[in-house]
Structure 1
Amino acid sequence: MKQNISRYDIWKRGTMANLSLRFTSKGKMILYFLLSIVYAFGNVVIAYITKIMLNMAQYRQGSVKQLITVAASGALAIILIMFFNFAYRYLKFDIVKDINVHLKAKTMAYLIEQQDDSQKDGLSLMTNDVKQIETLKILNELTIITEFMSFVVSVTVGLLNSWILTLLFIVTTVIPGFVQKFFTKKIQSKSEAWEKANASYTQNVSDGLNGAATADLYDVQIPIVGRVVDGAKRMENALKSLNYTQAVAGEIIMAVAEIFSFIIPFLVGAILMFQGHIGAGTLVMIVQLSNDFVNPVINIFQQINSIQSTKPMWDKVEKALKFDEAKPVSVNNTKFTGLDVDNLTYKLKDKTLFSDLGLSVHPNEKVLLMAPSGWGKTTLLRLILGKLKPNDGKIYIDKMDVTGDWQKAHDSFSYVNQKPFIFDDTLKFNISLGRKVTDSEMEEVVEKSGLFSLVGEKGWDYQVGENGANLSGGQIQRIEIARALLSKRPILLADEATSALDPELSLAIHNTILKNPQIAVIEVAHKISEQEKSMFDRIIQFE
């Protein structure tokens, strides 16, 4: 059956898709709507109490005691609303927290999964961009709801008291909306320029901090700092231009609103009062309520402008929100029967790194692949892992074709890098990487990887420092081996794993990984001792 979709449906879906508020619970949003209505009654109570007291005074109705009673009732109502507003404020920031956590979790998962974004873009997205989305989009979307409720409540009360003046105020509040449209594209353009300048500045700061030792060595602190300052100037100039454009738009909208939405309606009200159609209390009440006719509309237009300024940043976050995270692949419990590389050819641009390459690795076999520097050893490992796709040839694991398929291939491999990445966290986290493992499993891999004495001396909660600053090179390499052993994958790939270590430590590391009877090892290296070579079952020399 053909489904008819109206323009309204398309608009509604598009609008909802762009709202950040969809990432909090419906229950919280319903409660926020209700508390926004209570919040809107704050100004209405003051206006209504003012009307009653002025009319009582103008027409000499009641007594002074009754006037005091009316004022006291108004004060109690305001205090009651104040307590509701405590809940309103708390809920507002709780919703912001929920959305922020969701956006950061999805964005970080996207960046880790893709591994394509530069550090500059990733850092800027996770810090500056997400913060701008919080202050200029999430908070403004929530505030628009409150402003709209203030407008609806005030208009309802106004219509009940003087429909002529209220309708006049409502009609004139539309005019600022036409002014706002002229600034939308310009604000978006300024925002894009600021976002680019901000990303560049973030990278300059990162480079400056990471390159501090190099700057100190060559006495180039001044130009390095100058590079950061230049980036800061470009970023601040772009931000100044964006803020000024938004401010100018706000001033023009405010001036138009004050003329058409206040002065003219107030003139009509004064004429009606002069002719005896309304009392002073009603006029003052409508004028006071007009702040909630005019200001919410002005604020909503300004908030829309602010939300529009986040479009370049939100577009990047939406990539992460639409991205399907790779589901964790369960460990293949099928017994490993072998790896086969069949007639593999790989070209990098116009250069053929290798062609018709064949390789077979049996369970628990230890294979050393030797080749000169620049041959493409790391590229071969990336092909085996499924990170790259060959120009020709196939790769099989357990006779299953996994050529160029990371999701299928990588679950069979652990990997030992020449320079392992160490998290600025505890020793336990760096080994387990946050996975849930038993104490006995941790103790087993610690013993097999040669970390038993370190754990015994420092403890599991020992902070290893940024980039493993509190560890030796050998300890860092053993942490990488412990990670590999903990994964219980049948093949360990070692990429120049010990080339940066001294001969004695290199031999100790090889003793650890090559004498483990439960894993196959494929190591690539261009330099290794004869004693270490003797530990391998096969050595393949590539020219």
Structure 2
Amino acid sequence: MSEIFKIVLQKNKVNFILSILFCSITAIFNIASAFILKDFIDIALSGNIKRLNNLLLLAIIYIILFLLISYAATFFKNLYISKGNYNLKSKLLNTILYKTINFFNSENTNRYIKLFSVDLETVKVNIIENKVDFFKNIITLILGLLSMIFLNIYLFLGILATTIVSVLIGALFNKILPNIEKHTIKSSNSLNVFISDLLKGFQIVKIFQIEKRTNKIFLRKLDTEEKLLLRKNNIYNIVSVFSEASTNIMAFVLFYIGANQVISGNTSMGTVVAYIQLLNFVVVPIQKIPSSIMKFSSSKNIVDFILHLINEKPRREIGEASISFSQDIVLNNVSFFYKDSSLPALDNINFTFKKGKKYAIVGHSGSGKSTLLNILQKHWETYWGNIYIGGIDLRVISSNLLYRNLSVMQQEVFIFDDTIINNITLFSDFKDEDVKSVIKNSNLDEVIVNKGIDYLCGENGYNLSGGERQRIAIARSLLQKAPILLFDEATSSLDNETTANIEELILNMDEVTCLVVSHKLHKNILSKFDQILVLKNGRLVESGTFDELMKNQSDFWALYKLSN
């Protein structure tokens, strides 16, 4: 919890201190109101009009000062909460942005969507805001109790006894709640992930008519979540009911002891009225302090998750000056299994991609083509064998360094909900002539003429066709001018002429090592590649030029004949 609070307080200590200071002064003013009421009653009973008028003037000054102090307390509290929330969100997003691709392959992204949409709001209320409220209630309680001691020790002892009982019961429930909260969060995450899968896979649900089965699973998960929420809410309700009951108990104790003290002449009626007022500043904090502690405790699982995310140490990686990407890419006995699969996605691959050469990678669906390119991007590091770039093991090469020297065009294109130009440049600055060049080479110029460079693409390119999205992806990859280019069936939505133009452009890139996964087996293009690699069931079964492979009349020959 303290680590989270350190993040919250970054460039925010002054706001926090001032909010605590003014909240403390507000608490002092609240307590002072009890003494003003005491004097009103005692002066009224004494019949001194002059003192009563003087007290009225004091009360007016008190109200004016109280309004100013209360405004200042609220102002600095809101400033502290806003800055603290900003600090935590920016720290988390910055942490996530610098995670590796491999990190997200092993995690469910829905968990992180929930983190920003739900969990951080919980942290904001239960920790950031609650911190100030907790201090304010503690200060108010202490001042209230000290004032009670000052006014009448017997009344104080009665209130103290009921206070101790309330705190002990609150502590009991505080031990029970975190475990229930843990299971509730787990159930809620499971339900959110399932709903997300349903919406993303809605077409599959309809086509395969699995509405009843998915609804049954949903209802089971929903029932589990609601039962846990009901159990958690019942505990909160028990605490709330007991707090209300303790208020009545304190009132009865106060009036009984106070009546005895007035009858015996040991205290004044004004003191009893002051005690009634002070009771609010004791009872309310007693009710709220256990609730504040439970808020801290109930957020423990979220806080642990956030701290694990922030504090997870990356593996030591090779720095920028240690490697040249304009060198060969060497694969030695590379094998890879997907999680829970007994069959290899890649099986003992041995090959050297020479710098500046152009390679086509072909094979049936599921043969391992995309898996090979994904491993070269460090999507996974759990492969067997070794991959070397410039003589350095890929596992220890800095991810940031790798991505600055490797450009990727993928079949599945992600488009930001922004303009065409920002999706091409990815919010970076490039020379105008370079941007114009890639727009022309990716055949985007017609789209730009019709829609404009500042046309809003919509969420994940909703306002664009599949071909237009792929052209944008190709343009952004060409713009990087990286020494290594991975091209993963990125022309699948393009017509043959555009595909041929783009592949021709790639083949003419000097000093760029190109690995192109293609499903369009055209002789006029394939014959221009330096080598063609044929994958089958994760194994490299053939490699060579187009003419060599056709002459062999083996796997590539069969694949080519089938395609054409």
Within 2, Cα distance between the matches of 1:439 and 1:297? 66
Within 2, Cα distance between the matches of 1:157 and 1:310? 34
1:306 aligns with 2:292: no
1:182 aligns with 2:169: no
1:371 aligns with 2:371: no
Asked whether the 8 Å contact 2:31–2:144 carries over to 1, the reply is yes
Per-residue CA deviation, residues 7-55 of structure 1 (Å, 9 max, x unaligned), is xxxxxxxx62364884451111111111111321342232122111111
Q: Which runs of structure 2 are paired with 1:132-531 in the superposition (5 Å)?
A: 132-163=122-153, 165-166=155-156, 169-170=159-160, 172-217=162-207, 228=218, 231-256=221-246, 258-259=248-249, 261-323=250-312, 336-348=325-337, 351=343, 353-355=346-348, 357-363=350-356, 365-389=357-381, 393-403=385-395, 405=397, 407=399, 409-437=402-430, 439=432, 441-517=434-510, 519-531=512-524
Deviation (angstroms), 1:158: 3.8
Does the C-alpha gap of structure 1 residues 40 and 461 become closer, same or farther in structure 2, counting only changes over 3 Å? Answer: farther
Counterpart code for 1:294: V
Residue 7 of structure 1 corresponds to none
Deviation (angstroms), 1:265: 4.3
Deviation (angstroms), 1:141: 2.3
Deviation (angstroms), 1:404: 5.9
Residue 80 of structure 1 corresponds to 65
Within 2, Cα distance between the matches of 1:432 and 1:492? 17
Asked whether the 8 Å contact 1:111–1:122 carries over to 2, the reply is no
Within 1, Cα distance between the matches of 2:109 and 2:380? 21
Deviation (angstroms), 1:133: 2.5
Query: Which has the larger displacement, 330-339 or 169-178?
Result: 330-339
Does the C-alpha gap of structure 1 residues 120 and 38 become closer, same or farther in structure 2, counting only changes over 3 Å? Answer: same
Per-residue CA deviation, residues 440-473 of structure 1 (Å, 9 max, x unaligned), is 5544443443333433443343211122121222
SS state of the match for residue 174, structure 1?
A: helix
Asked whether the 8 Å contact 2:162–2:246 carries over to 1, the reply is no
Deviation (angstroms), 1:491: 0.4
Query: Which has the larger displacement, 390-399 or 243-252?
Result: 390-399
Counterpart code for 1:210: K
Query: Over aligned residues, Cα RMSD in angstroms?
Result: 3.3
Does the C-alpha gap of structure 1 residues 412 and 18 become closer, same or farther in structure 2, counting only changes over 3 Å? Answer: closer
Deviation (angstroms), 1:56: 0.5
Within 1, Cα distance between the matches of 2:196 and 2:317? 32
Deviation (angstroms), 1:436: 4.6
Does the C-alpha gap of structure 1 residues 82 and 231 become closer, same or farther in structure 2, counting only changes over 3 Å? Answer: farther
2:18 to 8, 31, 44: 31
Q: How many residues align?
A: 525
Does the C-alpha gap of structure 1 residues 393 and 302 become closer, same or farther in structure 2, counting only changes over 3 Å? Answer: closer
Within 1, Cα distance between the matches of 2:79 and 2:185? 27
Deviation (angstroms), 1:150: 1.6
Does the C-alpha gap of structure 1 residues 356 and 467 become closer, same or farther in structure 2, counting only changes over 3 Å? Answer: closer
Deviation (angstroms), 1:403: 4.2
Within 2, Cα distance between the matches of 1:536 and 1:16? 59
> What TM-score results when the alignment is normalised by the length of structure 2?
0.82
Residue 6 of structure 1 corresponds to none
Deviation (angstroms), 1:319: 1.7
Query: Which has the larger displacement, 346-355 or 417-426?
Result: 346-355
Does the C-alpha gap of structure 1 residues 257 and 446 become closer, same or farther in structure 2, counting only changes over 3 Å? Answer: same
SS state of the match for residue 269, structure 1?
A: helix
Within 2, Cα distance between the matches of 1:344 and 1:492? 23
SS state of the match for residue 330, structure 2?
A: strand
Does the C-alpha gap of structure 1 residues 460 and 35 become closer, same or farther in structure 2, counting only changes over 3 Å? Answer: farther
SS state of the match for residue 333, structure 2?
A: strand
Within 1, Cα distance between the matches of 2:55 and 2:79? 36
Does the C-alpha gap of structure 1 residues 209 and 376 become closer, same or farther in structure 2, counting only changes over 3 Å? Answer: closer
Per-residue CA deviation, residues 93-112 of structure 1 (Å, 9 max, x unaligned), is 33333333333334344555
Counterpart code for 2:126: L
Per-residue CA deviation, residues 47-69 of structure 1 (Å, 9 max, x unaligned), is 12211111111222x31x54244
Deviation (angstroms), 1:244: 1.6
Deviation (angstroms), 1:316: 1.6
Query: Which has the larger displacement, 431-440 or 419-428?
Result: 431-440
For structure 1, which runs of at least 5 residues remain unmatched after alignment?
A: 1-14
Within 1, Cα distance between the matches of 2:87 and 2:496? 48
SS state of the match for residue 425, structure 1?
A: coil
Does the C-alpha gap of structure 1 residues 20 and 229 become closer, same or farther in structure 2, counting only changes over 3 Å? Answer: farther
Residue 8 of structure 1 corresponds to none
Does the C-alpha gap of structure 1 residues 481 and 39 become closer, same or farther in structure 2, counting only changes over 3 Å? Answer: same
Counterpart code for 1:246: Y
Within 1, Cα distance between the matches of 2:39 and 2:138? 26
1:98 aligns with 2:86: no
Residue 3 of structure 2 corresponds to 17
Does the C-alpha gap of structure 1 residues 403 and 315 become closer, same or farther in structure 2, counting only changes over 3 Å? Answer: closer
Does the C-alpha gap of structure 1 residues 391 and 230 become closer, same or farther in structure 2, counting only changes over 3 Å? Answer: closer
Asked whether the 8 Å contact 1:368–1:538 carries over to 2, the reply is yes
Within 2, Cα distance between the matches of 1:443 and 1:333? 34
Deviation (angstroms), 1:226: 6.5
Residue 4 of structure 1 corresponds to none
2:120 to 130, 143, 166: 130
Residue 552 of structure 2 corresponds to none
Counterpart code for 1:340: I
SS state of the match for residue 293, structure 2?
A: helix
1:533 aligns with 2:519: no
1:120 aligns with 2:107: no
Does the C-alpha gap of structure 1 residues 340 and 215 become closer, same or farther in structure 2, counting only changes over 3 Å? Answer: closer
